[in-house]
Structure 1
Amino acid sequence: MTAIPRTVRLAAGLVAAAPSALTPALAWAAPTDPPPKKVVDGPDLAAGARNAPGAAAISDLINTIGFYAIIACLIGLLLSGLILVIGPRLGFDRASTVGKIGIFAALGGAFLIGISATLVNFFYNAGA
């Protein structure tokens, strides 16, 4: 009796399973009822943003503040890295700890700045 090599058995199994794996499943969803009407609608923030006086200036101001905050995080990251590397060599025994804390603070600040709009939109839509 000859033993069938493992690779041949694996290939035969794949060939046998291919027709069922490649056939699209025909799953039809049952029709659902339309969502019930709301008693009170939330505020239409998009219309308010289009019609509010100074909305474009406020949007530009927020984007500018975000830009400068990211630049500040980058500068903080670079300075903390320098403190981490150079500080102990100059004789400052706690410089490595301060450098590590500064790196994590700069990265955390950049993360919060980057995710802030997503978080606000998520929680607004969760409450709507």
Structure 2
Amino acid sequence: MLHRAITGVATGLVGGISIDPNTNGLPGIDQLKNIVGALMTVGLICAVLGVIISAIVWALGANSSNPQMSGRGKTGVLVALGAAIICGASVTAVNFFWDVGQAVAGG
């Protein structure tokens, strides 16, 4: 009997919990958003630099008949472009998965 009562209360508490992101719950949220935005900018600038350097290595390897250097340059270009895609799409990807999670939690 007591077990059923405790289970009913616990089920009622768990079923009634609703937590949403709170943008004013802690001090410094706006500064943290600015820091994350600045880090994204630095990441994108580094990706552009990586593409440029890797393209130069690729060109030097191709023109000096050095297939290993040329291959490393190609790989560097692809890695730098992948980093740019991840930096640029990170907010959209997180928001997408947040929405998926909310749809699962909502029923």
Q: Distance in 1 between matches of 2:94 and 2:42?
A: 20
Does the alignment pair 1:52 with 2:26? yes
Larger RCO (CA under 8 A, 6+ residues apart): 2
Report whether the alignment pairs 1:105 with 2:79: yes
Distance in 2 (CA, whole Å) between partners of 1:113 and 1:42 is 31
CA contact (8 A) 1:88 1:94 kept: no
Q: Aligned residue for 2:37?
A: 63
Q: How does 1:1-128 map to 2 (within 5 A)?
A: 39-40=15-16, 42-45=18-21, 48-90=22-64, 92-128=66-102
CA distance in 1, matches of 2:65, 2:80: 24
Q: Deviations over 1:36-74 (max 9, x none)?
A: xxx4354221xx113320001100110010000000000
Instruction: Figure out how many residues of one structure are paired with residues of the other and give that number.
Output: 88
Question: TM-score, with normalisation over the residues of structure 2?
Answer: 0.74
Distance 2:23 2:43 in 1: 24
C-alpha distance in structure 1 between counterparts of 2:94 and 2:34, whole Å: 18
The 4+ residue runs of structure 1 with deviation greater than 3 A are 39-42, 90-93
CA deviations over 1:11-37 (Å, ceiling 9, x no partner) = xxxxxxxxxxxxxxxxxxxxxxxxxxx
Task: Report SS of the residue matched to 2:23.
Answer: helix
> Percent same amino acid at aligned positions?
26
Unaligned runs of 5+ in 1: 1-38
Q: 1:127 deviation in Å?
A: 1.1
| In 2: Cα distance, 1:111 partner to 1:41 partner | 36
